[in-house]
A and B are shown apart, each in its own frame.
Chain A
Amino acid sequence: MAYGTLTEICFYLFIIMIVFGALVAVTSQILMKAVMGLALAMFGTSGLYLFLNSPFLALMQILIYVGAVCIMIVFGIMVGYTPRELAAQAIKPKNTLLALLTSLLTLGVLELGLSRTQWVQAIGAGAGDFSLAALGEALMTRYGLAFELISVVLMIAMVGTVAITWNGKRRGLK
């Protein structure tokens, strides 16, 4: 009983982390604050992954999103330019209004669809093997090709990143 209550409290805590972090990430005009909000939302999502029976994905979420992506964006902010000049310029009210309208419309349509759908479980849903061993085995056998392909994509992204920034530097020196 007490254990169940504690889990529910943790669940609500993760949801609050996601909502608050996402709101900060989107509305803050100071970019560093926005990245911190994004990291908070990612932490909350990794907590939800724990509830979804997948501790490995929760760890990967923290490692990749918080550890790699957010840090890279922080580098982008610190090296790139001073954000305060941009933040000082007011956002056009028309822009904000249109953005609000679009997102609220999307939210409404999707929520309507969500409330009217009856989800049907597949046979044996939720009873399969959630363990890390099963995940690793599938990655090495059935999804081996996809695994190799994502490695190739990551390598191309690395080489491309170096190539893009290098080219710009050479042009700047000329």
Chain B
Amino acid sequence: MISCNLNTYLIIAVFMLCLGLYGMMQHRSMIGMLISIELILNGAGLNFMAFNRFLAPDPVVGQIFTLFIMGLAAAEAAIAVSLIFAVYRKYQTADPEQISDLRG
């Protein structure tokens, strides 16, 4: 049974990580990059759950870790969206290649 095999889950998680990496470098907008980050975090959570189910002695630990990853992802998305608003107000653009000047 393919659903009882650890490697299946790990391959799906690796697939999500690599697609997220590709999207991070290829997207032309900051929101697109945020979506790719969520994909990567999701892959990490799936990895934890798979190891938790098949290898770990205590099944509570992995579930709690995945819950914390979800909470951190929600906090990160909120901060990122508000930062995108602030940057858009200041520069009047959301193109990450044009937001390149720093000032002390």
CB within 8 Å of B: which residues of A?
4, 7-8, 11, 15, 18-19, 22-23, 25-27, 29, 31, 34-35, 38, 41-42, 45, 48-49, 51-54, 56-57, 60-61, 64-65, 68-69, 72-73, 75-77, 79-81, 83, 86-87, 89, 91, 95-96, 98-100, 102-104, 106-107, 110-111, 114, 119-126, 128-130, 134-135, 138-139, 143, 146, 150, 153-154, 157-158, 160-162, 164-165, 167-169, 171-172
Contact = CB atoms under 8 A, between A and B. Distances in A.
Interface of B: 1-3, 6-12, 14-29, 31-32, 34-36, 38-39, 42, 45-46, 49-50, 52-60, 63-64, 66-68, 70-79, 81-86, 88-90, 93-95
A73 B81 contact: yes
Contact of B53 (A25, A35, A52, A60): A52
A70 B14 CA distance: 22
A83 B29 contact: yes
B75 A54 contact: no
Contacts of A87: 28-29
A129 B57 CA distance: 10
B31 A73 contact: yes
Given A41-B16, A104-B18, A77 B31 contact: yes
A5 to B, nearest CB: 10
B23 A25 contact: yes
B24 to A, nearest CB: 8
Contacts, number: 240
Contact of B74 (A11, A25, A125, A154): A154
B70 A65 contact: yes
A135 B63 contact: yes
Contact of B39 (A41, A129, A171): A41
Contacts of B3: 7-8, 11, 51
Nearest to A44: B12
Contacts of A130: 59, 63
A150 B39 contact: no
Nearest to A114: B10
A71 B38 CA distance: 13
A162 B75 CA distance: 12
The residue among B21, B58, B59, B83 with the most chain A CB atoms within 10 A of its own CB is B59
